[in-house]
Amino acid sequence: MIEIENVTKVYQMGEVQVHALRGVSLRIEPGEWVAIMGPSGSGKSTLMHIIGCLDTPTAGLYRLDGVPVGGMDEAQLADVRNRKIGFVFQTFNLLPRTSALKQVTLPMQYSRNGARVPLDEREGRARTALEMVGLGDRMSHQPTELSGGQQQRVAIARALVNDPIIIMADEPTGNLDSTSGAEVIEIFHRLHRERGITVVMVTHDEEIGAQAERIVRLRDGVIVEEVRR
């Protein structure tokens, strides 16, 4: 599903070039759970952004579901993200003064063919996604009325509502206590086990990384180790 061949990423910071990735090659199969790990500055966030079509490589080839994405423009990348990828971030990225139900309906404004999706259909799918993550009784609550763990579950429901083939999770437990973090990881386990969703997770937490099927470790922009569990 994810094929990366000799990918490099260079950022121009004034007169200085920063080599974030230095010839990375990686293949992730459908339904696999992969943890991307490494110290700060290792290139793991850059790799995640490229896999998630939030950024494009400077050189090298990236195919997502068999389609080369390296030469796509912003509109094409946005379409791929909307159709195939769900994102879960450390900071939740929820809108203030907006109910959980409305948060989850937002990615469904338009269908895959560009037509506007009726509100009742959006709300029905959002309710199903929120029930899936155990928030059937919190749909009308705003972020300030939810715990950190509940906010992250809203974010997971939002990521799921368009039926993505991949979930990209960037430090999804980084702002949570250990109990809430364990509950969130259990949701990822269930999605992976029951729905066969491909999970790509960036984490610093060795315990969380150990729950993935494969750990990919980066250092200084290169893969230094791959461990299958």
Query: Domain coordinates of the chain in residue numbers?
Result: 2-228
Residue 67, phi then psi, degrees to nearest 5: -110, 125
- Percent of the chain at pLDDT > 90 equals 66
Amino acid 112: pLDDT: 60
Whether the per-residue pLDDT at 83 is higher than 80: the answer is: yes
Amino acid 201: pLDDT: 95
Could you read off the pLDDT of 150-199 as tens digits, one per residue?
999 999 999 999 889 999 999 999 889 999 999 999 999 998 988 889 99
- Please give the average per-residue pLDDT across 59-88, as a whole number: 88
Mean pLDDT of the chain: 90
Amino acid 35: pLDDT: 96
Amino acid 219: pLDDT: 95
In the block, tokens 């293949």 appear at 27
Instruction: Give Cβ neighbours of residue 49 (< 8 Å, ≥ 6 apart).
Output: 55
Could you read off the pLDDT of 6-40 as tens digits, one per residue?
999 999 888 888 899 999 999 999 999 999 999 98
- Cα separation, 133 vs 99, in Å, equals 16
Of 115 and 143, the one with more pLDDT:
143
Could you tell me the fold of the domain covering 2-228?
Answer: Rossmann fold (3.40.50)
Characterise 38 by phi-psi region: left (phi > 0), alpha (psi -120 to 50), beta (else).
Answer: left
Whether the per-residue pLDDT at 114 is higher than 60: the answer is: no
- Please give the average per-residue pLDDT across 135-164, as a whole number: 94
Amino acid 72: pLDDT: 84
